[in-house]
């Protein structure tokens, strides 16, 4: 340090790189094409049930359907954790309006 005259000119300035922000499972992601719109689309042609007598197979099929959807949407989270995150998002004002809209849409389709 004495050699540099104590001025510190020769010292390299270290620039701390900013960490890349972790992807989040938030409203925009949930409402994006890979989110709920995809779920609604896929459910129509992928979710077929065998019905009476096959309750448990039907339900495990249902659960697998959601697990794969969630894995595509947000691969980081485990199934249970991802579900908890989505459930939490459902409490927001915007999501509640959206949810009501989806229900109404379906009702109109059903009424036709």
Partner 1 sequence: DNDDRDVIDPEVRAYVYSLVSALGGSAGDEGGRYILGDDALACLKDLKRWLKLYDERTNRLDVARCLAEANLVNGDLLEILAAWREDEPLNKLKSKIALACLELLVPLTWPIEKEDGDVTVNHHRHMPYLQLAHVSYKRGILHHDSTKILRTAVRIGLPSMALPLKERSSRDEGIIKLILYFFRNVALISPPRNLPTEETQNDIARSATIDSFEEQDILHLILTVSSSMGDDFDTEDVVVLELLFHLLKGIDVPQLFLDNSELSAKKEDELQDMLNKEAGMRRSYARVAPSRHNRFGTMIWLKRDDEKVSTLSGQDVLRDGQQSLAKMDRSKRSNKSKRGKKGQEPVHNDFSMPENISSASNRRLRAFVEEFLDASFNPLFIHIRKAIEREEDRVLDIHIRQYFYLVGWFLEAQRERRERYRRLMKQGGDVKSPDTESFALVAGVLNQETFISLNRSMQQALDNKSWHDLNAGMKCFTQILLTVHEMSESPLEEDQEIAENIQNRIFYEETTHDRLFAIVRAYKDQGYSFLDTTTELTHVFLRMLERYSKQNVDMQVRSRRRARKKKAANPVAGAEDQQEDGSEAEEVAQAQMVSKERKFDFNRFASKLVTQKCVDLYVALTQYYNDLDTEQLKRLHRFFYRAAFKMEMSVLLFRVDIIALFNKMIMGPDGLDQSSPVFKDWNELVRQIFKKLIRKMQERPELVIEILFSKIPSTLYYLEYGHEKQTVSKP
Could you tell me the end-to-end alpha-carbon distance of the chain, in angstroms, rounded to an integer?
83
Question: Is position 112 an interface residue for partner 1 (rule: CB under 8 A)?
Answer: no
Which residue is it, tokens 């719109």? Answer: 37
Which residue is it, tokens 């459902």? Answer: 90
Among 18, 20, 44, 112, the residue binding partner 1 under the rule CB under 8 A is: 44
Tell me the residue length of the chain. Answer: 112
Which tokens is 61 given?
């099929």
Among 27, 29, 31, 71, the residue binding partner 1 under the rule CB under 8 A is: 71
Among 80, 108, 111, 112, the residue binding partner 1 under the rule CB under 8 A is: 80
- 35 by Cβ neighbours in 10 Å (0-12 / 13-18 / 19+) ranks as buried
Binding site for partner 1 (CB under 8 A): 36, 39-40, 42-44, 47, 49, 51-52, 55-56, 58-60, 62-64, 66-68, 71-72, 75-81, 83-84, 86-87, 90-91, 95-96, 99-100, 102-103, 105-107
């Amino acid at each position: 340090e004495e050699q540099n005259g104590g001025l510190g000119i020769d010292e390299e300035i270290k620039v701390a790189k900013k960490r890349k922000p972790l992807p989040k499972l938030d409203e925009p992601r949930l409402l994006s094409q890979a989110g709920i719109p995809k779920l609604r689309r896929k459910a129509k042609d992928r979710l077929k049930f065998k019905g009476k007598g096959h309750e448990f197979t039907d339900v495990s099929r249902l659960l697998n359907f959601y697990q794969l959807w969630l894995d595509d949407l947000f691969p980081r989270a485990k199934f249970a954790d991802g579900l908890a995150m989505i459930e939490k998002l459902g409490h927001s004002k915007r999501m509640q309006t959206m949810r009501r809209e989806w229900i109404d849409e379906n009702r109109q389709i059903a009424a036709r």
